[in-house]
A and B are shown apart, each in its own frame.
Chain A
Amino acid sequence: MSEPVAKPKSSAALVQSRRNALRSYLGAYGFMAPAGVLVIIFFLIPVAIVLYLSVTNLASSNFTSDLAKMEFIGLKNYQTLLNDQFARKIFFNTIFYVLVTLSLFNVSLALIVSLLTTHIDRSAGFVFRALWILPRITSPVVYILIWKRMMAEAPFGILNQFNEFLGQPTYNYVATNPWVFVVVVNGFIGVSFGMIIFTSAIESIPKDLLNASLVDGSSRMQRIRYVILPLIRWPLLFVVTYQTLSLLTSFVEIQLLTDGGPGLYRTEVWSLTAYHRALSNYFGNAQWGYGSAFAVLLVMIGVVLAVIYMRVFRFDELVAEPRVEAL
């Protein structure tokens, strides 16, 4: 420009620069659109619907084709929920289930499996890890059926056939020890995720560093403690946080295995309750509104936890640079 004095931009120039900004935004939004549409259709809209349902009394008993007659009842569902005599039990069931499964299997066993399989012959390690992925890639229905058939009473259960053969009493093991099986069955599935993350983290530790530790005088156990574990701290935190959220919302396996029983709510967890109340009530009355209130609370807990995790463990940094490589 030959004009040295800065003039206010003409309206044409303003429109032009806005158009440019818009164009650059369009590119970015364009690339995000496919994922965005999925999130909107399968997450945001359902959440909105559930939120709305949770403040209505919609149920199969009062359902008419005229949805306009659906009654708005405010927070009454939530009030009922808090006074529900079983809500407390289900809440603690959920905490128990998440903490025990997470600590014993999704983190500890996953860590043990990845440490063991990275300390043996490479191809043997690969085979073992492949076996541990089987529960994850098997259809849940098939997987649970296998467990049930193994543990069922004679003459169906394989283990009990031995008992019968030996003249021992036979049990339905799932019914006698429901929590053990709920945790183990889910844990076996949960191992694979942490195992994959931990293994790749361990294998990306430079060989020199591992050799240096041995030469410096550490045993293999000391090397795990002083070198490997500190170096995979970030993947560890990631698995803990991610799997907490994922366990909190999982219920398919429990539904198929015990359906929350045996007895009243013995192994019922929060997400399963939401399903039961809304869609599969024993008495045949599907309380869509009330069940939605359960679901909404779960979503809220999940969102709060996610935000805390992102703050505390600084996920933005975790995503920004791969920690193990940043040596």
Chain B
Amino acid sequence: MEIRIDNLTKKFGDVVGVEDLTLHIEDGEFVAFLGPSGCGKTTTLLTLAGIYKPTDGLIRFGDRVVNTVQPKDRNIGMVFQSYALYPHMTIFQNIAYPLKLKKAPKNVQNEQVRQVANVMGIGELLDRRPGQLSGGQQQRVALGRALVKEPDVLLFDEPLSNLDARLRLTMRGEIKHLQKNLGITSIYVTHDQVEAMTMADRIAVMNGGHLQAFDAPDELYDRPKTRFVAGFVGNPPMNFLDVEVSPANGQFLAQADSIELPLGVERGEASAGHRGTVVMGIRPEDIQIVDEGDVRGEIFVVEPLGREDLIDVRIGPHSFILLADTEKQHRAGELVSLNFDMTQAQFFDPQTERSLLWHQ
């Protein structure tokens, strides 16, 4: 089912939940809504579910405008962070609930519930009650309940947030696998950018009720269109530095205090056209500690992550987060030289926070 959201606004009194959101989601696509709490992603999801009515704008499922359509008539399945299983029903009754409301015959209910339960690997739990299940099992039941009515659209509201890290990893893979197999158009709300990056075909990054970007994960990562996107996507986050960019010897130079970084023509021209300082962004993996280099700094702190070390290097008043091989055994206080891969640097307008490199 293709979903077209056009100029959607949802207000609660004077409080804006989401404003002027336009998104077109392809049939069978897996889209993640990513953003910090209060960014409007859950509001948008609940509006798609029909729990909230849009204040303005249009929502279409296929050709049908669903603005005022009741949730029950939208044929959607939804999975909640809290699982939202009915505590007074058995697992069987929980999964059968959507079918019961559809008045499906008992034998059909029985068959479909068992089929879904087997797919979800909870076949032997059908007689239990939600309270007797672990978090992971409950989430499987919730997923089963959402799938059993063969929905046109699947909505996920931070479904993995209450699970422990290990289980989250497994479920992440399973949900993605299941979604690809069934080909159901899915919208997945999360504040965890790793979840969004790993699972989604496209990510809608939201902040303060506004859509920041809507792109494929690698596109968001490599070509962030706003400073917010650049800072929110990626872990550890991108380093930002206010620099002045000026031409020098047929090339360009990005400069901040004692730091001078040579810049290629393409990026240099795009950012030097801007008067005064611009915001430069550079990802931790694009900064290396080298034996010889022009930029020298002091290691402020080393955080071992196991596979690599997260290192905070201070250069004058500026701080850079970067990743280094654990075998190098860097220590706090050590003086090091840094190499910046400026072909990967991003530049943003300090006022509008839009990218100077990638325009819409």
Residues of A within 8 A of B80 (CB): 208, 211-212
**Is B97 in contact with A216, judged by CB distance below 8 angstroms?**
yes
Q: Which of B72, B98, B145 has the most CB of A within 10 A?
A: B72
Segment of B82-90, B192-200, B220-228, B281-289 engaged in the interface with chain A: B82-90
Asked if B49 is at the interface of the complex by the 8 Å CB criterion, the answer is yes
- Find B82's partner among A206, A217, A218 (CB 8 Å cutoff): A206
**Is A215 in contact with B78, judged by CB distance below 8 angstroms?**
yes
Closest Cβ–Cβ distance, residue B329 to chain A (whole Å): 48
**Is B101 in contact with A216, judged by CB distance below 8 angstroms?**
yes
**Is B102 in contact with A217, judged by CB distance below 8 angstroms?**
yes
Residues of A within 8 A of B217 (CB): none
Asked if B77 is at the interface of the complex by the 8 Å CB criterion, the answer is yes
Asked if B51 is at the interface of the complex by the 8 Å CB criterion, the answer is yes
Closest to A220 in B: B70
List of 9 A-B pairs having minimum Cβ-Cβ separation, nearest first = A212-B84, A208-B84, A217-B101, A214-B71, A215-B78, A327-B87, A217-B72, A216-B98, A230-B88
**Is B87 in contact with A231, judged by CB distance below 8 angstroms?**
yes
Residues of A within 8 A of B98 (CB): 216-217
Given A211-B46, A211-B51, A327-B131: A218 and B84 interface contact (C-beta under 8 Å): no
Asked if A227 is at the interface of the complex by the 8 Å CB criterion, the answer is yes
Asked if A219 is at the interface of the complex by the 8 Å CB criterion, the answer is yes
Asked if A222 is at the interface of the complex by the 8 Å CB criterion, the answer is yes
The count of chain A contact residues (Cβ–Cβ below 8 Å) is 20
- Alpha-carbon gap, A208 to B101, bound state (A): 18
**Is A208 in contact with B81, judged by CB distance below 8 angstroms?**
yes
A–B complex contacts, Cβ < 8 Å, 7 sampled: A211-B84, A216-B149, A217-B149, A226-B97, A231-B87, A233-B88, A326-B87
Asked if B50 is at the interface of the complex by the 8 Å CB criterion, the answer is yes
Given A227-B86, A231-B88: A216 and B81 interface contact (C-beta under 8 Å): no
The count of chain B contact residues (Cβ–Cβ below 8 Å) is 27
- Alpha-carbon gap, A326 to B81, bound state (A): 17
Asked if A209 is at the interface of the complex by the 8 Å CB criterion, the answer is yes
Beyond the given pairs A206-B84, A214-B70, 18 more chain A to chain B contacts, judged by CB atoms under 8 angstroms and listed by A's residue number, are: A208-B80, A208-B82, A209-B82, A211-B49, A213-B97, A214-B71, A215-B50, A215-B78, A216-B72, A216-B97, A217-B98, A217-B101, A218-B72, A219-B72, A230-B86, A231-B88, A326-B87, A327-B87
- Interface hits, B62-107 → A, CB 8 Å: 70-72, 76-78, 80-82, 84, 86-88, 97-98, 101-102
Closest to B149 in A: A217
- Find A215's partner among B77, B87, B88, B131 (CB 8 Å cutoff): B77
Closest Cβ–Cβ distance, residue A178 to chain B (whole Å): 42
- Interface hits, B136-155 → A, CB 8 Å: 145, 149, 155
Residues of B within 8 A of A233 (CB): 88
- Interface hits, A298-327 → B, CB 8 Å: 326-327
Residues of B within 8 A of A217 (CB): 71-72, 98, 101-102, 149
Closest Cβ–Cβ distance, residue B231 to chain A (whole Å): 30
- Alpha-carbon gap, A209 to B77, bound state (A): 14
**Is A214 in contact with B72, judged by CB distance below 8 angstroms?**
yes
